[in-house]
Structure 1
């Protein structure tokens, strides 16, 4: 090879861009109900999106499905640092992201999808390194709130019954002397007419599982809105549902 060809080859190789190859990187993503267990199939699953936190590029999306986890390990027994909390049946989504350099990603959860009135969104940011999988318990994002399903029953003479069916976001049951005891929660019905509050009615736990209820009598005909809620002031969990009804005293 003469000197001119060698110099040209050297210059060409110097100017050629470095070729980088994306590496599939796996990340286990889980959703946990605040003060309860993992959120999964029993409540309709949780939608997951993984985006570049700086450019908003969608890198992956999917659904969290599976079981709520071991009650003894998660709730009854003290959790020790470094202890593995999940197994192969625990709800999660195994995300695979192809990246060729470290990325700051934003993981967003939306669920539980079987109860649209109780949908919550939660998100975090974290770094992903190409080829460095994050498996096992993975990234767990806590979701606050209660699942709340409210309705009314209108009886004769302006009598109205209010009902609220509530559970933790994982579907874990509220029952007397249970792990989630109704005595720790406050439930009420806010009564509205023409977007003005006219009364607030305490709901008592009537069970056997998750049901709070009350009864009142209204003296005027018209359309009413009931906002039924349950709150745990210690954990910050709140669940709410709204319903409309009509009173006709004519």
Structure 2
């Protein structure tokens, strides 16, 4: 009987190993597409107007990322999203609506986690949300796809101290999609409670109401601070109906006379 050389044995064992591993080989995986979208609570889709959103597809047990990218596009059809009663199974996303079409290669049904983070253009108001869903090889989830609701408001706050130590507090607030808050609009300011919390050394000193100025998205108030020091101003917007909440903070320095 002919004796095999060490080299021949090596290639024989390697070929057998690859054959056994073939059932889990990527060659047997199917390319599957999943559309991922982010929608602001009580508003429209989140897209390029606020810098887009980061979208990640990952294994919920290991955290291994299977795909990732940016959600980009428009906020969607205003009439369809905000004014039209929807029927069952009615698609609410249009061709231009913001989304990210993820691609995964899987060889068996898998439970995947879809995670969004942003908006990228409003770092002070970024939020994260995630959902898990089963995905079947070769069975695309497109159209509306997987829609993840993102709570919060985009809140940009700043202050100005006048000579008499009056602190003027400003807040520019929009929905997470960048949609405007204005009188007689779809998102009226009287739905919101907008206040600033004045703090020092982790102690709450007072709350200051910030009324709507009449200019879209802009709220303003003021308070007097007599004692010199460094103060923290936490500005929040709270929807009394939905409970949706957004926060931003800024620092105030009162100099000694």
**TM-score for the superposition, normalised by structure 2:** 0.89
Aligned residue pairs total 238
Look up the SS of the partner of 1:42 in the other structure.
Answer: helix
The Cα offsets for residues 77-114 of structure 1, whole Å up to 9 and x where unpaired, read as 11211111111110000000000111100011001011
- Counterparts of 2:256 and 2:225 in 1: how far apart (Å)? 9
Partner of 1:3: none
1:48 equivalent in alignment to 2:48: no
Residue 150 in 1 paired to residue 157 in 2? yes
Aligned to 1:80: 87
Aligned partners of 1:216 and 1:189: how far apart in 2?
A: 10
Give the Cα separation in 2 of the matches to 1:26 and 1:194.
Answer: 51
The reply on whether 1:19 has 2:23 as its aligned counterpart is yes
Question: Which residue pairs with 2:3 in the alignment?
Answer: none
Q: C-alpha root-mean-square deviation of aligned residues, in Å? A: 1.6
5 Å-filtered alignment, 1:24-43, equals 24-43=31-50
Deviation of 1:215 after TM superposition, in Å, equals 1.3
Q: Distance in 1 between matches of 2:87 and 2:189?
A: 28
1:22/1:130 contact within 8 Å kept: yes
- Could you tell me how far 1:249 is from its partner in structure 2? 4.5
Report whether the alignment pairs 1:194 with 2:201: yes
Distance 1:219 1:88 in 2: 56
Q: 2:219 aligns with which of 212, 216, 222?
A: 212
CA distance in 1 between partners of 2:60 and 2:227 (Å)? 54
Q: Report SS of the residue matched to 1:204.
A: coil
- Aligned structure 1 segments of 4 or more residues deviating by more than 6 angstroms: none
Q: SS where residue 81 of structure 2 aligns?
A: helix
Secondary structure of 2:164's aligned partner: helix
Distance across 2 between alignment mates of 1:53 and 1:242: 33
Aligned pair partner of 1:179 in 186, 201, 205:
186
1:128 to 135, 143, 160: 135
Tell me how far apart the structure 1 counterparts of residues 185 and 243 of structure 2 sit (CA, whole Å).
Answer: 19
Is 1:163 paired with 2:185?
no
Correspondence for 2:144:
137
User: Where does structure 2 lack aligned partners over 5 or more consecutive residues?
Assistant: 1-15
Instruction: Give the match's secondary structure for 2:23.
Output: coil
Write the distance in 2 (CA, Å) between the matches of 1:204 and 1:182: 9
Is there any run of 5+ residues in structure 1 with no aligned partner, and where?
1-12
What does 1:91-102 correspond to in 2, within 5 Å?
A: 91-102=98-109
C-alpha contact 1:39 1:169 (8 A) present in aligned 2? yes
Deviates more, 1:190-199 or 1:92-101: 190-199
Q: How far apart, CA to CA, are the structure 1 residues paired with 2:209 and 2:23?
A: 67
